[in-house]
Chains A and B, each alone.
Chain A
Amino acid sequence: MAADSCSWFSALAVGVSLLKCFFISAYRSTDFEVHRNWLAITHSLPVSRWYYENTSEWTLDYPPLFAWFEFGLSQVARSFDANMLQVENLNYASPATVLFQRLSVIVTDVVFIYAARECCRCVREPKGSRDILSQPSFVLAVLLLWNFGLLLVDHIHFQYNGFLFGFLLLSVAKHLQSQHLQGALLFAFLLNLKHIYLYVAPAYGVYLLRSYCFTQDNKDGSIRWSSFSLLRLLALGAIVTSVCALSFGPFIAMGQLPQVLSRLFPFKRGLCHAYWAPNIWALYNVLDKTLAVLGVRLKLLEEAELPLASMTGGLVQEFEHSVLPSVTPAVTLVCTLLSILPAAASIWLRPRGARGFLRCLLLCALGSFMFGWHVHEKAILIAILPLSILAVENREDAGIFLILTTTGHYSLFPLLFTPAELPFKVALMLMFSIFSFTALRKLHSAQGFLLHPLEVIYLLGLVAVAIACEVVFPLSPWQQRLPFLPLLVTSVYCAMGVCYAFLRLYASLLLQREDKPKLL
């Protein structure tokens, strides 16, 4: 095998790109139609109509730069099949359309591949030449490029996350390389491509303000107010404002800003998505349900007084709690902010370089995932992907990574419910898990085991849950009576793992004195 790093990286990239092509004719979710519709809107309507068009129910609800991205794609789409660019052609999916849309995801993933390359360059390599397969940069490349969640969500379910995560990881890599302005520019672009990344914006804000705008620290690590550099702050401000102006400027000029914002932030949706993301609210819902059932059993509650349809959980968007108080968007916002606060305060008080920032970013992502309003299960990827970087450097993080990825990835299983895709999700998940477990174990073999025996038992329980939900349940009589039971079990079981990983990650930030990974 050729030893130079360029060749193995390109082999991994080519391999995964070809693998993605196998999913071209696989199942695709309604997101496929969402993006086709956006292609049509941006191609055939003037800019002023983009955020008003509502022929399809899937209206444009991403920020303007993403709309321009779709506009760019639509120029190429014309030569595949011009009919997909008509707004009235709802649910249009000719073979050429499918091919184009699938290939567009695969090709725009080049950004992600480049970002992964940059991240691999930032990894601290241990001294002494070792087998390629157990070099941290190789392991990281596989963990990023061959990430199960990304393959599932982007290339089967259909979305453009790879391209967007490319921006996020590239910006993280730039911070790791101390090129803060580039990092800030990339993040500003990312925010204007998809606003879900606002969740991690606090980490960026605090870090840049503390570690970039203040050039020096006191000897004890506390802030030296006199070292504030106005020039740096202005540079950062100029970058962010100009990107936002580029994106939102035209719409502000046309006086459409309220309309655009109302599309971007729809608060009409419920606390939880149709399928509960594995977060605090899933546990809260289940606790509520258990209390209600117990209450009825113990005759403390009248069954007639309880809200209807509380056991069909899965499909109801507006979920009414029967015992515990109902949760409003404001409550979730407060919870989210409270969960992020200690992390932000920690890197403000004791900055620990770019790796501390990365840890804070992860906590922001996980905190908002845990407590956010109407969180999608896919959002777990915002935490999983950047955590890969820490996992190859630090044994403690590797353990957290294994728990978080295994539970987070498994919680994506219900996204694909068609029997034809079952082999894909099982094989991909097994492949990724086998690799991450064996490779990380090898990487940190000198420092003992990665997981506590109890953690291992918990993760093995996931196998039992998987078999029960995917094989046993469809054959059992409960299939008719409680059709949403597997979804409920999956999200609750995974929620425990995600919560645990969140707490451990928090502990690692707050308790760690210096973020120096021990290496061989």
Chain B
Amino acid sequence: MQTWSLVSICVLLSIIARWGVSLNSYSGAGKPLMFGDYEAQRHWQEVTYNLPIQEWYFNTTNNDLNYWGLDYPPLTAYHSWICAYLAKTINPEWVELHKSRGYESTQHKLFMRTTVLVADLLIYIPAVVLYCLYLTDGSSKKKVSVMFCFLLYPGLILIDYGHFQYNGVSLGFALWGILALGLGWDVLGSMAFSLALNYKQMELYHALPFFCYLLGKCIKTGLMGRGLFLLVRVGVTVLATFALCWLPFLAEPSQAMQVVRRIFPVARGLFEDKVANTWCSLNTLIKIRSILSGDSQLYLSLACTLLAVLPSCIRLLTKPTFWHFKLALVNSSLAFFLFSFQVHEKSILLAALPACLLLNDLPLMALWFLQASTFSMLPLFLKDGLLVPYIVTSLGFLFFSIYLLSALDHCSEDKLRLGAYNKLFYWVLKMDLAFIVRWKFYISIAAMVGLSIAAAVLIAPPHLPDLFPVLISTTAFLHFLGTFIHFNVVQFSEPPSRKSQKKSN
């Protein structure tokens, strides 16, 4: 079988999976007065279509920012605006100012779901296909296997096609950036990443590795000669892309400032809901929010985040190879997720994307983390009525990633990159680390399955209404922390196989 036919079959399967999920309910379906993310996206279409661009981010009589006000960067707004034009030609009721609030119908759902699929087909899926074909090593069958698992990562599918968001766009742009850097097209890569940043500010989770990788590369090629030239080119590209995206808001400084204020809402607390990061998990032991003032919470989280990001970034700066870049992306986004301010459970997708990049190199660890990340969003899926697709996609992903990537067949210490632990703790030398890891994997999967069933079937006791969400977020937090530490260790140990070095040069 030719590679093209296998690739197209994989892509078609992933489209079917995506569309299959999209037939299910979305966030806030039939739940007035606020509805959910679906209504937020529809409302942005309404606002961007009907109001002049100067009013988009301002609270005016026609734009109530308390009702799903626009709080994403300009590219999102432009995307909404394009979708609104299409919506208007199909059915003007969908984007009518004020009157369309909370509009729901089968046709409209179909339209909204289609816009997500189209965006994915244009941006995310081609990036995944090209990445797997050009930047993973192994036979073409291996590449296709990795692509299959990458495309079927359940978390992104469930959030984009179930819950309803356009993460595929921002993650897709970031992936185009990674792809371009991997192929050595640094200028194009930085442009793609700038677009990602301008679509969703959460892409800042990936910004430091991009910056450090490019800076490191400049330093390596000589800051006085070609390196400087590269630095200038990249800098100009980034500035130009940003300027282009922000063009309508640059006329008045107050406009730009308002957009920035909307994008970074520091006034909201350290965390909301139950999210699997450090602060929320600590909260079960210490009530940080009542001890510290808002500002000190902000500084504390900022300091912790920087501390957590620093090691992997410095490592990347000194060794700007693609292998370290991929690891730094995971480490940085996990550090942000675990320690930064105002994290949403969906932000774990930002760490999941770079983890998908490691599916070929570190299959077991990557798929373990990816599964945990899907699991961490279970309370959200339960709220949205996405239990069945959650079960189906998770089972499928787990089964096929283990089967196709033979994750459990090759878990020797070397393959799992556990060598560094032996150096760190001389007393574990005698233990079979690979064996322990494998059992830990089984136990953790069993725990996730058990908790998923419990959360779906059992009713929490009345005095502990949040029992299951807290248990789920704590379990997921432990997984994320473990992954974070492990990938940092891997990044600091020598890249053992020749393959990954070959790839980086």
**Residues of A bordering B, CB below 8 Å:** 1-2, 7, 11, 14-15, 18-19, 21-26, 99, 131, 133-134, 419-420, 423-424, 427-428, 430-431, 434-435, 438-439, 442
Contact between chains at A26 and B23 (CB < 8 Å): yes
Contact A434/B8 with A21-B388, A22-B392, A24-B388 known, Cβ cut-off 8 Å? yes
B258 shortest CB reach to chain A, Å: 39
Contact between chains at A423 and B15 (CB < 8 Å): yes
The yes or no answer to B81 lying at the interface (CB within 8 A) is no
Residue on A nearest B145 in the bound complex, by CB: A1
Q: Name the B residues within 8 Å of A439 (CB-CB).
A: 1
A137 shortest CB reach to chain B, Å: 15
Pull 5 A–B residue pairs with CB atoms less than 8 Å apart, ordered by A.
A15-B400, A22-B19, A131-B1, A431-B16, A442-B1
Which of A26, A420, A427 is B15 in contact with, Cβ under 8 Å? A427
**Residues of B bordering A, CB below 8 Å:** 1-2, 5-6, 8-9, 12-13, 15-17, 19-21, 23-24, 106, 110, 117, 141, 145, 388-389, 392, 395-396, 399-400, 403-404, 406, 409
Which of B8, B19, B395 is A423 in contact with, Cβ under 8 Å? B19
Report the Cα distance A427→B20, complex, angstroms. Answer: 12
B interface, over-half SS: helix
For A24, A131, A134, A439, which residue has the most chain B Cβ atoms within 10 angstroms? A24
Contact between chains at A25 and B1 (CB < 8 Å): no
Contact A424/B141 with A21-B392, A438-B5 known, Cβ cut-off 8 Å? no
Number of A-B contacts (CB under 8 A): 83
Q: Name the B residues within 8 Å of A438 (CB-CB).
A: 1-2, 5
Contact between chains at B23 and A1 (CB < 8 Å): no
A interface, over-half SS: helix
Residue on A nearest B117 in the bound complex, by CB: A423
A375 shortest CB reach to chain B, Å: 29
Q: Name the B residues within 8 Å of A7 (CB-CB).
A: 403
Contact between chains at B110 and A431 (CB < 8 Å): no
Report the Cα distance A19→B14, complex, angstroms. Answer: 10
Residue on A nearest B16 in the bound complex, by CB: A427
A315 shortest CB reach to chain B, Å: 24
Contact between chains at A420 and B392 (CB < 8 Å): no
Q: Name the B residues within 8 Å of A1 (CB-CB).
A: 141, 145, 404, 406
Which of A131, A420, A428 is B23 in contact with, Cβ under 8 Å? A420
Q: Name the B residues within 8 Å of A18 (CB-CB).
A: 392, 395-396, 399
Report the Cα distance A453→B207, complex, angstroms. Answer: 54
Q: Name the A residues within 8 Å of B16 (CB-CB).
A: 19, 22, 423-424, 427-428, 431
A19 shortest CB reach to chain B, Å: 7
Contact A434/B5 with A2-B406, A25-B23, A420-B23 known, Cβ cut-off 8 Å? yes
Report the Cα distance A419→B109, complex, angstroms. Answer: 12
B119 shortest CB reach to chain A, Å: 15
Report the Cα distance A228→B1, complex, angstroms. Answer: 49
Which of B9, B106, B388, B403 is A99 in contact with, Cβ under 8 Å? B388
Which of B5, B389, B399, B403 is A22 in contact with, Cβ under 8 Å? B389
Q: Name the A residues within 8 Å of B24 (CB-CB).
A: 25
Q: Name the A residues within 8 Å of B15 (CB-CB).
A: 423, 427
| 7 cross-chain pairs, A with B, having the tightest CB-CB distances, nearest first | A22-B20, A438-B5, A21-B392, A431-B12, A18-B396, A423-B19, A427-B12
Q: Name the A residues within 8 Å of B19 (CB-CB).
A: 22, 423-424, 427
Q: Name the B residues within 8 Å of A21 (CB-CB).
A: 20, 388, 392
Contact between chains at A430 and B12 (CB < 8 Å): yes
B122 shortest CB reach to chain A, Å: 15
Report the Cα distance A424→B392, complex, angstroms. Answer: 17
B399 shortest CB reach to chain A, Å: 6
Report the Cα distance A442→B6, complex, angstroms. Answer: 13
Report the Cα distance A377→B9, complex, angstroms. Answer: 26
Q: Name the B residues within 8 Å of A430 (CB-CB).
A: 8, 12
Contact between chains at A431 and B13 (CB < 8 Å): yes
Q: Name the A residues within 8 Å of B20 (CB-CB).
A: 19, 21-23, 26, 424
Residue on B nearest A443 in the bound complex, by CB: B1
A269 shortest CB reach to chain B, Å: 32
B457 shortest CB reach to chain A, Å: 14
Report the Cα distance A428→B20, complex, angstroms. Answer: 12
Report the Cα distance A1→B106, complex, angstroms. Answer: 43
Contact between chains at B396 and A15 (CB < 8 Å): yes
B397 shortest CB reach to chain A, Å: 10
B386 shortest CB reach to chain A, Å: 11
Report the Cα distance A182→B145, complex, angstroms. Answer: 40
